[in-house]
């Protein structure tokens, strides 16, 4: 009887691992066939050879791009280079990425930018909020954009015990944003195991100076987040497409 139970358990565990493996492969697009489509109106932006992570576009057509993310399990093109923020002007016919200078004593060596989001106040000052992973922690950095100097002035680092494994943010007002957490554990092995098991326990946080709270959970991997004009927001699950070539 004990043997039978053991065999049943073994069978069930193997079936579970098999199912998880398939789901994991599928979620990364590894077994999906796609028809190749020629990109329309696409130009290669020079100056971003070390990769780009997130983009946020201002109404004027200026776009910020975060680059150089170092993240567990993800390939990195320049492991010894710190992360950077680039600016492109989408009004130009052949826009070129220009690295933005960062001033005001910000520690650039450990800059590891992930999701970004802009906010324009009533005086038309542009602020850039950046999810940062210095030494694999999660902070949110606030910069003021100086358009004439093409630079970012560091204003503030936001830290909070709930701001862990942050992936992306969308800013609603001064120091007020929603943020996605794409995994729960911070330990590298546990984080990978967690993604593999797909436990649906990643979440969306609301942050304001007065209140920080989890507002939604149960996502397989809460990734990008953006807000619609009526201020209803949505999250997209991590999804990678691999070209047939
Ligand atoms: C990309 O990384 C290499 C080092 O691996 C560095 O020399 C180069 O300046 C980087 N390019 C940009 C645009 O950051």
**What's the pLDDT tens digit per position in 201-238?**
888 999 999 999 998 888 877 888 888 777 766 665 54
Neighbours of 38 (CB within 10 A): 5
**Per-residue pLDDT at 53:** 93
Do residues 157 and 141 lie in contact, with contact meaning Cβ atoms separated by under 8 Å? yes
Q: Are 13 and 226 in contact (CB under 8 A)?
A: no
**114 and 209 housed in the same domain:** no
Which domain-ending residue is among 133, 159, 185? 159
- Check whether residue 55 and residue 149 sit in a common domain: yes
Residues 57 and 135 in one domain: yes
Q: pLDDT class for 245, splitting at 50, 70, 90?
A: very low
Mean pLDDT of the chain: 86
Write the burial class of residue 28 (CB in 10 Å: 0-12 exposed, 13-18 middle, 19+ buried): middle
The predicted pLDDT at position 195 comes to 77
Reported pTM: 0.82
Task: Examine the domain organization and report whether 187 and 91 are in the same domain.
Answer: no
148 and 206 in a single domain? The answer is no
Instruction: Tally the domains of the chain.
Output: 2
Say yes or no: CB of residue 47 within 6 Å of ligand 1: yes
Among all residues, which ones are annotated catalytic?
A: 114
pLDDT at 19 over 50: yes
Q: Are residues 151 and 54 in the same domain?
A: yes
The answer to whether residue 120 sits within a structural domain is yes
pLDDT at 241 over 80: no
Total residues found in the chain within this entry: 245
Do residues 64 and 166 both lie within one domain?
Answer: no
Q: Which pLDDT value is given to residue 43?
A: 80
What pLDDT, in 10s, does the model give residues 80-116? 999 999 999 999 988 999 999 999 999 999 999 999 9
Does residue 111 sit in the same domain as residue 186? no
Mean pLDDT, rounded, for 6-14: 79
The last residue of a domain, from among 159, 179, 204: 159
One domain for residues 118 and 189 = no
Q: Which of 159, 194, 211 is the last residue of a domain?
A: 159
Verify whether ligand 1 is closer than 6 Å to residue 46 (CB atom). no
The pLDDT of residue 34 is above 80? no
Domain of residue 123, residue span: 44-159
Best residue among 75, 78, 102, 112 to mutate for probing ligand 1's pocket (most ligand atoms within 8 Å of CB) is 78
**Confidence at residue 238, expressed as pLDDT on a 0 to 100 scale:** 47
Q: Is the CB of 81 under 6 A from ligand 1?
A: yes
Q: Kindly give the distance from the C-alpha atom of residue 100 to the centroid of ligand 1, in angstroms, as a whole number.
A: 14
Give the residue, out of 53, 80, 81, with the most ligand 1 atoms within 8 A of its beta carbon, to mutate for a pocket test.
81
The pLDDT score that the predictor gives to residue 244 is 37
Phi–psi pair at 96, nearest 5 degrees = -120, 140
pLDDT tens, residue by residue, 167-208: 999 999 999 999 999 887 877 788 788 877 888 888 899 999
Report the pLDDT value the prediction gives residue 31, as an integer from 0 to 100: 56
Whether residue 39 is contained in a domain is answered as no
CATH number, residue 193 = 2.40.10
């Amino acid at each position: 009887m004990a043997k039978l139970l053991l065999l049943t358990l073994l069978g069930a565990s193997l079936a579970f691992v098999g199912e998880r493996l398939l789901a994991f492969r599928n979620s990364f697009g590894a077994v999906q066939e796609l028809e190749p489509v020629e990109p329309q109106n696409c130009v290669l932006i020079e100056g971003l050879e070390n990769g780009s992570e997130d983009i946020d576009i201002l109404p004027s057509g200026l776009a910020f791009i975060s680059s150089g993310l170092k993240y567990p399990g993800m390939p990195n093109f320049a492991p010894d280079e710190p992360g950077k923020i680039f600016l492109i002007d989408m009004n130009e016919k052949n826009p070129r990425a220009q690295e933005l200078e960062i001033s005001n004593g910000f520690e650039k060596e450990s800059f590891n930018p992930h999701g970004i989001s802009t906010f324009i106040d009533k005086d038309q000052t542009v602020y850039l909020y950046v999810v940062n992973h210095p030494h694999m922690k999660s902070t949110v950095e606030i910069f003021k954009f100086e358009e004439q100097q093409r630079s970012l002035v560091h204003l503030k680092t936001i830290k909070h015990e709930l701001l862990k494994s942050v992936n992306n943010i969308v800013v609603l007002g001064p120091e007020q944003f929603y943020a996605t957490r794409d995994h729960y554990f911070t330990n590298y092995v546990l984080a990978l195991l967690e993604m593999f098991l797909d436990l649906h326990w990643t979440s969306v946080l609301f942050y304001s100076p007065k209140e920080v709270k989890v507002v939604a959970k149960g996502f397989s991997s809460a990734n990008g987040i953006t807000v619609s004009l009526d201020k209803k927001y949505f999250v997209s699950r991590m999804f990678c497409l691999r070209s047939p070539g």
